[in-house]
Chains A and B, each alone.
Chain A
Amino acid sequence: MSDDILLSLANVESSYGPIKAIRGVSLKVRKGEIATVLGSNGAGKSTILKTISGVLDPTRGTVMFKGADITGHDPAEIVRGGLAHVPEGREVFPLLSVHDNLLMGAYTRSDKDGVARDIEQVYTYFPILRERERQDAGLLSGGQQQMLSISRALMARPELILLDEPSLGLSPKLTKEIFEIVVRINRERGTTILLVEQNANMALNAADYGYVLENGRIVMEDRCEVLREKDDIREFYLGMKDTGVRGERRWKKKKTWR
């Protein structure tokens, strides 16, 4: 059982100064699956990812990756270990070309042939990047930047990708396309993905296993097809509610998380 667990967090707490952003999170990501963490603004989703990738040191708890303790390790070392982080808001290098951005992603690698093959492969995932190969990344549209940022993470040949809100600021159509590619990457390359999303509908359809985070704590976890049917998820995350006798219902039910 524990063999197929790629990443696990145990009682992780992280703070920004005196403000505790996550207050004891335990979760597991199995090898080869897409796991997702749902939550509203400020629930602590991004903090979880930052803590995993070493950008933020937790005040408590442990992060285990491939059976080794990586808590508070240097981010670069963690990337070398096979864990790449696609940050929220894309964060491409705007003054470098698309191609150079991809090379930056492969910074930790020394196999030039492999890198070239991987660049070819990401171009097949996102053909538009090949067309813009020599352009500055700053000139790309938001969706293209998101594609680039995912591709750049792939260049490190990670076993696990942390994906922070890929749908942010994108049109529904683009969001759908990006999610399709994410699933494709997972299926074709066997890359495990931990996805953090506000777009619960997209995330629950793409992922295998989901956690719901509220106020820095996990309140619910289950397989996504089960989560999709839960009343609280339907009402608070998917915006589906019975309209009641009047045909419009404004008030909210209390969350019970069961």
Chain B
Amino acid sequence: MTSLASPIITSRRPGWVVETLPFDTVPKMFWQRVDELGSAIMMRQKDLGLWRAYSWADVGLIVSEIGAGLVSLGFAPGQVASVLANTCREWVWADLAVQSMGGVCNGIYPTDAASQVEYLCVDSSSVFLFVEDDEQLDKYLENRDRLPLVQRVIVFDMEGLHKLDDPAVISLDALRALGRTYLKLQPQLVQQRLGTRGPADVAVLVYTSGTTGRPKGAMITHSNICSSLAAGSSSLFEGLPMGGERVAFLPLCHIAERMVGEYVSILRKSTINFVENPETVFENLREVQPVVFFAVPRVWEKVYSTVAITIREAGKLQQLAYAWAVGEGAALVKLTEAGQAPGALQRLRYWLARKLVINNVRRMVGLDRVQLALTGAAPISPALIRWYQAIGVPLREGWGMTETTGGGTITPIGAGKPGSIGVPGPGVEMRISEQGEILMRGGSVFSGYLNLPEKTAEAIDADGWLHTGDVGRVDADGYFYITDRMKDIIITAGGKNVTPSEWENQLKFSPYVTDAVVIGDKRAYLSCLVMIDEDNVAQWAQHRDVQFSDFKSLCRAPEVVNLIGEQIDKVNKEFARVEQIKQFRLIEQRLTAEDEELTPTMKLKRSLVNRKYAELIEGMYSAKAA
């Protein structure tokens, strides 16, 4: 077998440098910003319909009170506190307070079931648990007997709990009151505790979603985060000004929003706007019109399909105007990709398209002021990136993972290659291994999995290379491309290696498909399970008078099955015969983030789907139904 290995690739882009940061831990960065920025606004959250603002000084005071409250209850440096909440201001306060007191902060997904919450608290040895509200509190109460380490549970929102009299439960306000008293006795507490931590200490625990087996707690040190931040400023922002509005809504327990939403915002002196709840993301986006917007592909897909559907229902004139304007944009994008400069007339036409049409679209979706648009955490279709560029949203793709503290590669401004995840950021080394796996080395590579030295050794080899588990290649310009996850590669009964996600991503570009899982390991041919996009398929069916009532009947309508079949055939044409899908089935259950089949970022879990739908899968292989 020929070796797939590449030489070591590092950042070659001019201006991409590792900054020297005047702090070496996360809390020190925060407190430095509090001193510098004082009364400027750090964050906003909507309360009963009004955006409520908190200055850096306000947050500093709150954080010191929460921290002192924890210490008064016995919190010691190096201990772990967990946060179980949706993305909100209190999440960030708790994180900063825990770290300011020398502790380690661990995030738990609010969609996790009680048993998972129990496992994560036990595995991380959490001594405090912050919960959002009564719903999340109940997850603790259900399993409290098995959580003897947890000394106190702090509740952000006490609505419905005022009658609760439980010595283990305290409200955030009560904790702050304890902290205020404690601070009078120990006014130097924050300074003292900041000194207890150095760069090598663990700052946060991030549990990887664990598509196979139990989740693993990645230990991320202050130095890991600072390395990632030091590299991010120049490569991510490429000369954009500091400050500006941001919208935060992805789960903060995920490394991406924790870094980009919280720590990068602190570094870049931005204002964080928290959405009211996960359902109001698009409405809040319109209100805030952020300068920086980071989202996962699913959100970018949703914004696009909102526009596409609005246009479909608009008048003839609007439809023509939209097609013309986006066509002008697309032509410009094509030219840029080919490395050519557009002529004056073409620039004028695009300027007109922007003025007359596109700016309205941008305002409607809330992206009119966006300077940095970023996607990551999952693969995205190149066609979608081109559409955003056509409407003047410079959408860039970043690649990173929990184990790299979010750092890795990013597509440079104006020099992206669709389909590529970009070039390595400053300060990291990357290469392709003999087996074709992408390896990475650098300061942002995590320090190991909690309590799992053998798993750590599997991930980081003796030379310090992190084995990312992604299979890919690198081109002559140093751009990386991902073909698949190493463990997802399918070897068919015929001995052919197939990378399923390439095929799946092509199918996901269809507006009627949300997600798909290709099956075929040790099988004669490939098949797949498809999760349809309910909104779009329902609208399609209604438009064509296809009768359906509930979700199951929608999935069973022969016309819908045919529609998905057509989408699959279309994708099949782009692949070689052995890589084509011969059979498929629709998942007839509507899945939500609470379901075990989906990761919190709403991706289907391959191994679990394989197990759970075994019967459905067998059905595609048993009968000669083809």
Residues of A contacting B590 in the complex (Cβ-Cβ under 8 angstroms)? 256-258
Q: Evaluate contact between B138 and A10: CB separation under 8 angstroms.
A: no
Given A246-B164, A257-B590, A258-B590, are A13 and B550 neighbors across the interface (CB < 8 Å)? no
Given A10-B545, A254-B592, are A218 and B550 neighbors across the interface (CB < 8 Å)? yes
Given A245-B138, A249-B134, are A254 and B594 neighbors across the interface (CB < 8 Å)? yes
Main SS at interface, chain B:
loop
Q: Given B141, B160, B546, which contacts A11 in the complex, CB threshold below 8 Å?
A: B546
Q: Evaluate contact between B133 and A24: CB separation under 8 angstroms.
A: no
A205 to chain B: closest CB distance in Å? 22
A23 in contact (CB, < 8 A): yes
Interface string of A61-76 (1 = CB under 8 A from B): 1000000000000000
B:119-137 near A, CB below 8 Å: 133-135
Q: Evaluate contact between B133 and A218: CB separation under 8 angstroms.
A: no
- Residue of A at shortest CB range from B142? A245
A26 in contact (CB, < 8 A): yes
Q: Given B134, B541, B549, B594, which contacts A221 in the complex, CB threshold below 8 Å?
A: B549
A217 in contact (CB, < 8 A): yes
Residues of B contacting A226 in the complex (Cβ-Cβ under 8 angstroms)? none
Number of A-B contacts (CB under 8 A): 62
Q: Given A23, A61, A211, A245, which contacts B549 in the complex, CB threshold below 8 Å?
A: A211
Cα of A157 to Cα of B86 in the assembled complex, Å: 58
B318 in contact (CB, < 8 A): no
A80 to chain B: closest CB distance in Å? 28
Given A245-B141, A246-B138, are A26 and B547 neighbors across the interface (CB < 8 Å)? yes
Interface string of B217-255 (1 = CB under 8 A from A): 000000000000000000000000000000000000000
A219 in contact (CB, < 8 A): yes
Chain B residue total in the interface (Cβ 8 A)? 25
Interface string of B128-160 (1 = CB under 8 A from A): 000001110010011000000000000000011
A215 to chain B: closest CB distance in Å? 12
Cα of A20 to Cα of B189 in the assembled complex, Å: 60
Cα of A13 to Cα of B543 in the assembled complex, Å: 11
B538 in contact (CB, < 8 A): yes
Interface string of A241-258 (1 = CB under 8 A from B): 000111011110010111
- Residue of A at shortest CB range from B169? A246
Cα of A10 to Cα of B546 in the assembled complex, Å: 8
B607 in contact (CB, < 8 A): no
Given A26-B549, A245-B142, A258-B589, are A250 and B159 neighbors across the interface (CB < 8 Å)? yes
Residues of A contacting B138 in the complex (Cβ-Cβ under 8 angstroms)? 244-246, 249, 251
Q: Evaluate contact between A256 and B545: CB separation under 8 angstroms.
A: no
B305 in contact (CB, < 8 A): no
Q: Evaluate contact between B550 and A24: CB separation under 8 angstroms.
A: no
Residues of B contacting A220 in the complex (Cβ-Cβ under 8 angstroms)? 549-550
- Residue of A at shortest CB range from B557? A26
B:433-480 near A, CB below 8 Å: none
- Residue of B at shortest CB range from A23? B542
Query: Which interface class (under 10, 10 to 19, 20 to 34, 35 or more) fits A?
Result: 20 to 34
Residues of A contacting B541 in the complex (Cβ-Cβ under 8 angstroms)? 24
Residues of A contacting B547 in the complex (Cβ-Cβ under 8 angstroms)? 10-11, 26
B548 in contact (CB, < 8 A): yes
Cα of A104 to Cα of B509 in the assembled complex, Å: 60
Residues of A contacting B549 in the complex (Cβ-Cβ under 8 angstroms)? 25-27, 211, 218, 220-221
B551 in contact (CB, < 8 A): yes
Cα of A254 to Cα of B142 in the assembled complex, Å: 19
Residues of A contacting B141 in the complex (Cβ-Cβ under 8 angstroms)? 244-246
Q: Evaluate contact between A217 and B545: CB separation under 8 angstroms.
A: no
Residues of B contacting A27 in the complex (Cβ-Cβ under 8 angstroms)? 549
Interface string of A11-49 (1 = CB under 8 A from B): 101000000000111110000000000000000000000
Residues of B contacting A10 in the complex (Cβ-Cβ under 8 angstroms)? 545, 547
- Residue of A at shortest CB range from B547? A26
Residues of B contacting A26 in the complex (Cβ-Cβ under 8 angstroms)? 547-549
Q: Evaluate contact between B134 and A24: CB separation under 8 angstroms.
A: no
Cα of A251 to Cα of B135 in the assembled complex, Å: 6
Q: Evaluate contact between B550 and A219: CB separation under 8 angstroms.
A: yes
10 further interface pairs, Cβ-Cβ under 8 Å (given A250-B160, A257-B550): A24-B541, A218-B549, A220-B549, A221-B553, A244-B141, A245-B141, A246-B138, A249-B138, A254-B592, A258-B589
Interface on B for A, CB 8 Å cutoff?
Answer: 133-135, 138, 141-142, 159-160, 164, 538, 541-542, 545-553, 589-590, 592, 594
Interface on A for B, CB 8 Å cutoff?
Answer: 10-11, 13, 23-27, 60-61, 211, 217-221, 244-246, 248-251, 254, 256-258
Q: Sorted from nearest, which 3 A-B pairs have the closest CB atoms?
A: A250-B160, A251-B135, A24-B542
- Interface pairs (29), CB distance under 8 Å: A11-B542, A11-B545, A11-B547, A24-B541, A24-B542, A25-B549, A26-B549, A27-B549, A61-B545, A217-B538, A219-B550, A219-B551, A221-B549, A244-B138, A244-B142, A245-B141, A246-B141, A249-B138, A250-B134, A250-B160, A251-B134, A251-B135, A254-B592, A254-B594, A256-B590, A256-B592, A257-B551, A258-B552, A258-B590
